[in-house]
Structure 1
Amino acid sequence: MRTTSKTTQSTKMVSQGQRRHGTAEPQIELGLSKGTSHSLVTAALNKLDAAVELTTPECDRWIVHTASVYDARGYVYLELADVTRAEAERGMAMLKKLVG
């Protein structure tokens, strides 16, 4: 049996997003090659989600979410528990360290 694999290029960008109510939402935007299947996008988001969960200090109580959007892109973002500036800064610092 012969199999082929497609190398998928990805980009990750950390930014400070905002929730609907204007509160801070640290996030990583994941971009994959155009034409990447939805399954691969979802798998990449889940892998990144797991890395964020495992990196989160026990003292922080935020919730990690993923969102897949069109054009082989998606987001992993933090729903902050206390929604304070200090918590948002800790979240941003952790995501930046994780992404490199």
Structure 2
Amino acid sequence: MNNNIEHYTEAAELLKVLAHPVRLCMVNGLLEKGECNVSFMQACLKTPQSTVSQHIQKLKASGIIEGRRDGLEIYYRIKDKRVAELLKLLV
């Protein structure tokens, strides 16, 4: 049993970031597709671009996703591999 409170704090923070339906959907979509840009996510989610961007910022800040620039577009993908295992259990 791991009694290291930092370990649990990190896990709790990861769960907090994922605890939103739109972010769960975005992360699941990235896991299925590999990577995509904001326009694709916006069309899939039928959500305003500003809303998608706000969720992307939360996911990036927590280290769950990362972006790759290609010209004017940024393509996002999963950075934290623990997320894939977690979503397999949830979705």
TM-score in terms of structure 2 length: 0.35
Larger helix fraction of residues? 2
Mark the structure with the bigger radius of gyration.
1
Q: RCO higher in 1 or 2 (8 Å CA, sep ≥ 6)?
A: 1
Larger strand fraction of residues? 1
